[in-house]
Amino acid sequence: MSCFPCFGSPSQGKEKVKKKIEGIVGADCKQEFSAAPSSHHVSSEGNAGNIAAQTFTFHELATATKNFRQNCLLGEGGFGRVYKGRPDCFCPFGFSIDIPADEEPLDWNTRMKIAAGAAEGLEYLHDMAKPPVIYRDFKSSNILLGKGYHPKLSDFGLAKLGPVGDKTHVSTRVMGTYGYCAPEYAMTGQLTVKSDVYSFGVVLLELITGRKAIDNTRPVGEQYLVAWVRCSLTFCTTSSPCWLL
């Protein structure tokens, strides 16, 4: 069960859990971890052959995430924040929007590469998977980048099986991230693959403009990316693309 690192047999004991955490946080944090009280609860139901889940203390989570540093933050959604605790995790595309002042923005080829790769991921879910899968929470912070800026879709916690046969939609409770959610889905609760397409359009606008879907630090008329772009396209001309970087 190597693909589930947080699960194991109860007989593994505290020492193996300690080594697992030390491997996650790296050598620079080992001393701090060793000084911390070791308190693990292993949840096991049924006979000894069952898989058991190990719970970690708050201190261990803080150590693994370097005290919940901003550069360890992978993403944030309606259910809370997600941090990385391993050195080989991908970096989220979402933070490419908040580029430090001394760094150059992504070039256009890289931006289009990210957009095309993310679109291929959605195409697979919508057209190749049987039955089709609706992502339902497609957003920039769920696009992880590997070496060479190859995008990978992550966090399928809200994914829903799409309509099959003669059905045109799936009726479900409205969920997702504000700013990316398709308006027709938000109003009716009727979910289709087009809901993901709308969310992809918002991410594409983020790539093009370098702005967030919702940014409360901007003036009132510029806080909502979709509304701002729609207004800008109305007043801009081909010779004056005022909404581009």
pLDDT digits (tens, 9 = 90+) for 36-51: 444 445 444 444 445 5
Report the pLDDT value the prediction gives residue 77, as an integer from 0 to 100: 60
CB 185 within 8 A of CB 191: yes
Integer angstrom CA distances of residue 159 from 90, 112, 122, 154: 21, 25, 12, 11
Mean pLDDT for each consecutive 10-residue tract of the chain (245 residues)?
43 47 42 43 48 67 80 69 58 46 80 93 89 87 86 82 78 82 86 89 92 88 87 63 49
Summarize pLDDT for 146-164 with one digit per residue, the tens: 888 888 888 777 778 877 7
Q: What is the pLDDT of residue 21?
A: 40
The CATH homologous superfamily of the domain defined by 108-235: Transferase(Phosphotransferase) domain 1 (1.10.510.10)
pLDDT at 111: 92
Tokens of 33: 């971890």
The predicted pLDDT at position 204 comes to: 94
**Residues labelled catalytic:** 137
Residue 161 sits at φ, ψ, to 5 deg, of -65, 135
Q: What is the pLDDT of residue 187?
A: 85
CATH 1.10.510.10 domain position(s) in the chain:
108-235
Structure tokens that stand for 205 in this block = 């606008």
